[in-house]
Amino acid sequence: MPHHAVTYHSLRPLGSRASLEIWPKHRAGVMLFYPGTMLSPVQYRPLLSALHEAGFGVAALHFTGHGRNSHWTGFTFDDLVQDGLAAEQWLRKRGHRAVAVCGHSQGGILAMAHAAASQKLVAAFPITGILPQSDRLMDLTIFRRWSNKKHEFAATLRFLARWLPRLPMPLQSYLSVRRIVAGARHIAYNRKQCRMSYPLGYLSSLLSASISEQMQCPLYFFSAVNDALFTPAGVQSTFEQLRAPQKKLVWLPGGGHLAAMNPALCRYMARHAAAACAGLGLPLHLEKTCRAQGGAAYGL
């Protein structure tokens, strides 16, 4: 955790029901972080700590209906995108001119959506992701055999969601836990502030979502070579589709889909992001901090 006290701020004045977790860093640019599916910043303490140690101020999103916020609140994919845009607006109103975005898994998709929509970001650092309009989105689910019928599947889901928008869909009802945890090492994981399910209406909105392939800022795309969920072939295809002022694909040597929770890989990604952002003019402020819990002394 950082030496400075973490603070929390509601984004309701900006029309969002999300909140921000701020790890302050004086005179430094800010990394805005998007957590993954059903998760909160709590599960990403090693990564947030590594980013803070690397010189960033950190702003981590507790989305609408997630984390510290009421889990009874309904939301769509677009609501989560708007949460991030509201967070950027909140940061800029408080004098933070240099803002980059980072996100893991579903958060990586949202970080790309943000980078496609915002004209002022320094850079985007998705830790794996996919364009939601791609047929390959089905390959992430347990319905992979219907990957060539994504539009029909999405239409069926929209129909059901009109009648049962709040029907709870646990993670196991559409994703393989085995593929998620494959290759994971040296992670300290807890379920604090996690959601237990997503409403059917949200999954319908995700499956019907579309984001621009044109990023408005430099893109640095991280993914593990042994990610069994976002496979290397799928990541390579996504990366080739994306357009950006400059872009780079960085392969992580291990860690599986949960590489963003592996302390050694978190430090590697944070240092890579810091070097990239320093070259793009984002100010960093290095100071000694305490490492987050999670076996940070261990490697792969």
Q: How high is the pLDDT of residue 4?
A: 62
- Distance, in Å, from the CA atom of 224 to the CA atom of 207, rounded to the nearest integer, reads 24
Distance CA 178, CA 172 (A): 10
pLDDT one-digit tens code per residue, 125-150? 999 999 999 999 999 999 988 778 88
Instruction: Answer yes or no: pTM beyond 0.75.
Output: yes
Q: What local confidence, expressed as pLDDT, does residue 132 receive?
A: 96
Q: Consecutive 10-residue runs of the chain (300 residues): their mean pLDDT?
A: 77 97 96 98 97 98 98 97 99 97 99 98 99 94 85 92 96 96 88 95 97 98 98 97 98 98 98 98 79 36
Task: Give the start-end residues of each E strand in 173-290.
Answer: 197-199, 219-224, 247-252
How high is the pLDDT of residue 5? Answer: 85
Q: Using N-to-C axis directions, what is the helix angle for 150-163 and 200-207, rounded to 10°?
A: 150
pLDDT in tens, 168-193: 999 999 999 999 999 998 887 788 99
Name the residue ranges covered by the structural domains of the chain. Answer: 7-280
pLDDT at residue number 130? 98
Residues ≥6 apart with Cβ < 8 Å to 44:
33, 35, 60, 104, 260, 261
**Top-level class of domain 7-280:** alpha beta
Environment class of 232 (CB within 10 Å of its CB; exposed 0-12, middle 13-18, buried 19+): middle
Indicate the SS3 state at residue 23: strand
